[in-house]
Every structure is written in C-alpha cells, then in structure tokens.
Amino acid sequence: MDEVGSFLTCALSFLPPQPRLGASVVQTFTHVSLVAALSCAAIAQAQSSRLVEEPIGTKDTPTLVVSPRFKPANGGSGGSGGGEGGVAGACPQVISSYTSASFEGGQYVVQAGFAQGEMTACSYLLSPSDFPLRIDLIESIFATSNASVQTTTQWTVMVWQGTPATGTLVYSYSSNDIDLPHIVMPPGTNGVNVQFGIDPADPEQMVVVDNGSHIFSVGFRIDQHNNQTQNPCFFAPPSASNAFPTTDVGGLAAPTTNWLYALDCGPLGCAAGWKSFSQIPTVCRPTGDWVMRASWTPQSCELPGACCLPNGTCQSILESQCVAQGGIFSGQGVACTASTCTANICPCCFVATGGCVTLAPSSCAAAGGIAGPTGQSCTGYVCFPTGACCLPDGTCVGPISPSACAAQGGVFEGNGTTCFVGLCPEPMGAACFPTGFCLELTEAQAAAAGATWAGPGTTCVDGNGDGNADACFTANPADINGDGVVGAADLTMLLNAWGSVGGAADINHDGSVNAADLSILLDSWS
C-alpha cells in the first residue's frame, strides 16, 4: 500500500434492501444515502498522506449468497475428501470473528484506498481437537461510497492452513460471473455482504487439517476493480467508481490476527506482502477489524461458550482456547451478551500516564494499574479526579483528591470544581442559651440570638442524660473533684488545702484557699 492510496475511508448509511434475482444465486442490493458531507474523492485528495476514517450508522445490509459448482481456481481438489475428513455432522457450528459490526446492519468504514490485487484475511487459533474442520460459510462486507457509476468488482475468496503469511493456501475460488457472480452495485452508496459457502450435500467440501499451528485463515482478494485507472502506488483507485472491503468502528481488537496483503510500491508505500495489522505503520493501519467471519464445523463436539478475555471483551470459543488466552470460561453453550463479562472488567488507571484501559481486575493488578469499580468500563470514568473540598469549618481548599478531602473530614465537590465564595455552606454548631436551651445554628445566627456558639460540628445531643446538651455543659468550679456534685467530698478537699496557694480548691482564683472559697462552695452545695 502507498500513502496516497492507503485506506482512505468513507462511511455508509444503508436504506432497506430491494431484492434482485440473479442466475443460480440470490443477489440483493440496496441504494443508500451518504450522510457524510465530504465524498471519498474529496477526502482522498485532501488527506492522501494519512488514514482518514468517518464511521456512519447503517440500517440494513443486503447479501450476495454464492456457492460454486466447479473446481477451485488454484487447481486444487476443491476439498476432496470432505466427506471423509471425519468431521462429525452432529457437532455444533462455530462462528469465528473479531469484528464488532453486525452483518445485518450497523456501522462500517470503507477502506477506499484498497488497490486491485491486494488482499484481506483473518486468522483464527483453535484447539488441536477441532481439526480437521469443515468451512461452512465465509462472509465479508464490501461497499461503495457515493459512486457515480455502476461498479463491477471481480474477487477471490481463499482459505489457508495456518496464517496467510506463513501457512499454505488450500482453497481459492474466483468470481466468474456464472455461478460465482462478480460484485455489482448501482451508483450511489451501496453495500453487500458476500456470503460464500459450499452446498452441504456436495461431496467436495472445504476441509482444513491442522498443520501444527492450530490456525486456519480466510480472506478475500480484489482481482479487478471496476475502474483502477492508474498505478495505485501513485494514485488511489477512484473512490467514486469502485467497491472496497470494510472494517468496523469498534476499535482494533485483534491487531495480530487481522491481515493485509499490500502491493509493493517500494519507498512510496507501506510494508509490502502479508502483514498483520500490528506490523503495519500507523499511517497505513485501519483502526478497526475486518468485517469478516467464518462459520465452521469441528470434529470435536466440545461446545463453545462465553469467554471473558483479559481485555474485558467476550468471545464464544472453546474452554481450552479461553484458558490459553488467559480468559475466564463461563460454561459450554453460554452465549455472550452485553452483560456477560461486566463482572470481569474494571477501569484500570495508570499513575505514570494518567490513562485508563478497560481490563479484568486481575490483569489490571498484574499490569501495575489501579483498579476502579468492577463492572464499569473506562467510558465516562475519571481516573484521578481533583476538585474543591469543603471542610467542616466552612472553609474551602483545593483542588485536591477525594481521598485527601475525606482525610480532613471534608466534602468533595466533584472533579474539576474550584473554590469560590459561597460554595461551602456555613458550618452548624450548638448554640447554648442562658436558659439552658440548645439549638443547632450557624455562628452568626447564635450571636444574633444572644447564645454562646459551641463551635462547628457540635450538636445538641444530651449524651449523659442530665437534661442538658453536652456541648453546652460548663463545669461548676466548686465541684473540686469533678464528679458533677458539689458536696462533702469537695468540702474535705477544700479544708485539707486551707491556706495553700492556688490549686483546684482555690475556687475564686484569688491565689489562696480561704473563707471566700468556702462561701462559694457552700452556696453551690448540691
């Protein structure tokens, strides 16, 4: 792939399909309206040196169902022995895919820089016991964006033992416009789900054996564009007159198992030949997974089930595959739903970067992150919030963290908040009236009422049951021993200290324990 011709993308918005019958196949297409304001051609011209993606929501995706009645184009046997491969007919069918897109409508991204002769592929790692397996159906969505003419695209579907880069190509079928029609779409923005499979009653099936890697791969090649007018190393195929493969808008979930075969454009282009997305420079790399999937029937009848992977996503795979990838298996036959793995994810925050990644709590701890609430993703989660803090005395400090605020007994006002006059309410406290009555008021209110304010956070609670608020209690100085009663014990203490200087028995604090102190004690006698 070259920078000028590398994956300029346009978005689709599909309308309800209108069926059209073709020879030997069911072929349905739809006219769709482009929601984006810019055309592919304009984007390609303005953003030719980098990847441009603009996903748009879609409605219904039509299908092109094809099944061959001839030998594979690569000269192979076409799956001879498919009926002898030992694939148990009673085994349940399995679907392998990385895309988050729906094949019946949703969101797609057209990779409009994709050149004639280039290929897409996805590889899938299975359990050794799944082999040999029969490939039942291969699907991929192709689309046009704002095409000004009817487009015809010639294509090839392929199957490998192993990866497309290091494995062996075992099946290859090319469109011939007879029993395998070319992809034909009218002007406008259109899409089609190419569904390739072989009649189950046909003795020649696509059977894949394990080459030792426990991997099989499927992919598509554009053999001939409708209108690739110039060298794609210098000029991207005109987006207004060609169809292209698509990726999803859910983010790149499988960078090492999505593959691209790019043309060799020398120093002008990106890495040539088969490369996984993780091996492709960012300028040439799609940000989503190929909208592609494979349905297959294994020899082993071990049922797949929901597997919660370390990145928090759910895949329907076998238990052995789940364990091999560090996942948590939910049980055979358990389907992936929106809530299947929510108990196994959390926002994982990293102090060094301040960033957040949705992970399983165990994976977060192993990576040295700080795990947030279980069952929540990074969406809308703030890793390290700071803001204003209202302290018990009514003052405001900040910005500080919620934990630092709580340590001071304060109330955190929210992430991004700042202190300003009036943010923090005046503190309440016990207001003690001369009558012995108590009310919880602000300091200003207590002063206006002629009460004595006991301080912020104090209350009118009567903890000792003496009928008075604890905060308003003032000890009687004649209660020398502090037992709450002025009596004989206090008198004894006073007489024993008679004539001494200072001390608790000096009730009036005149510097001597004398008759004046005795008079006060007797006046206060309980």
What's the pLDDT at 304? 82
Which tokens is 96 given? 């392998």
* Selected residue with higher pLDDT from 160 and 31: 160
81 beta partners: none
pLDDT band (50, 70, 90) for residue 180:
very high
Q: What is the pLDDT of residue 71?
A: 45
**pLDDT at residue number 266:** 84
Specify the higher pLDDT residue, 475 or 485: 485
In the predicted model, what is the mean pLDDT of residues 165-170? 97
pLDDT score, position 418: 93
Residues 397-424 have pLDDT tens digits of: 989 999 999 999 899 999 999 999 889 9
Mean pLDDT of the 99-115 span: 88
> What percentage of the chain carries pLDDT values higher than 70?
83
Q: In the prediction, which pLDDT does 466 show?
A: 67
The span from the CA of 210 to the CA of 298, in Å, is 12
Give me the chain's average pLDDT, please.
Answer: 81
As a 3-state breakdown, the chain gives helix, strand, coil percent values, each rounded to 5, of 15, 30, 55
Radius of gyration of the chain (CA): 39
Residue 195 has pLDDT above 60, yes or no: yes
Winning range, highest mean pLDDT, from 32-46, 218-232, 422-436, 497-511? 218-232
Check pLDDT > 60 for residue 433.
yes
> What is the per-residue pLDDT for 12?
38
DSSP string for residues in 7-44: -BEEE--BPPPEEEEETTEEEEE--B---SSS-HHHHH
Cα–Cα distance measured from residue 518 to residue 490, given in angstroms and rounded to the nearest whole number: 10
Residue 21: is its pLDDT beyond 90? no
Question: Does residue 171 surpass a pLDDT of 90?
Answer: yes
For range 470-480, the mean pLDDT: 78
The pLDDT value recorded for residue 24 is: 28
> Is 177 in contact with 205 (CB distance < 8 Å)?
no
Q: Is 221 helix (H, G, I), strand (E, B) or coil?
A: strand
Residue 11, pLDDT above cutoff 70: no
Query: pTM (2 decimals)?
Result: 0.50
SS3 of 96-153: EECCCCCCCCCEEEEECCCCCCCEEEEEEECCHHHCCEEEEEEEEEEECCCECCCEEE
Q: What is the pLDDT of residue 261?
A: 96
pLDDT at 162 over 90: yes
Tokens read off for 269: 């282009």
The single-letter code of the amino acid at 385 is P
Exposed e or buried b for every residue in 286-304, given b needs 16+ CB within 10 A? bbbbbbbbbbbbbbbebbb
Q: Give 465-469's long-range contacts (Cβ < 8 A, gap of 24+).
A: 467/436, 468/436, 468/438, 469/430, 469/432, 469/438
**In angstroms, what CA-CA distances link 413 with 385, 389, 406?**
11, 6, 11
Could you read off the pLDDT of 47-78 as tens digits, one per residue?
Answer: 333 344 545 455 677 888 888 864 444 434 33
**Residue 343: predicted pLDDT:** 75
Q: Is the preceding peptide bond at 281 cis, omega within 30 degrees of 0? A: no
- 3 state SS of 512: coil
What confidence category does residue 217 fall into, taking pLDDT thresholds of 50, 70 and 90? very high
Report which secondary-structure segment, H or E, holds 366.
Answer: helix 361-366
Q: What is the mean pLDDT of residues 243-258?
A: 94
From start to end of 391-453, where are the E strands?
Answer: 396-400, 411-412, 428-432, 438-442, 452-453
Out of 83-87, 110-114, 374-378, 381-385, least confident range: 83-87
| pLDDT at residue 2, rounded to an integer | 39
Find tokens 């290929």 and name the residue: 119
How many CB atoms within 10 Å of residue 212?
A: 8
What's CA 195's distance to the chain center, in Å? 30
Cα–Cα distance between 394 and 426 in angstroms, integer? 5
pLDDT of residue 57: 54
Domain boundaries along the sequence of the chain: 9-295, 305-371, 385-425, 428-472
Task: Name the nearest CA neighbour of 142 among 299, 35, 316, 290.
Answer: 290
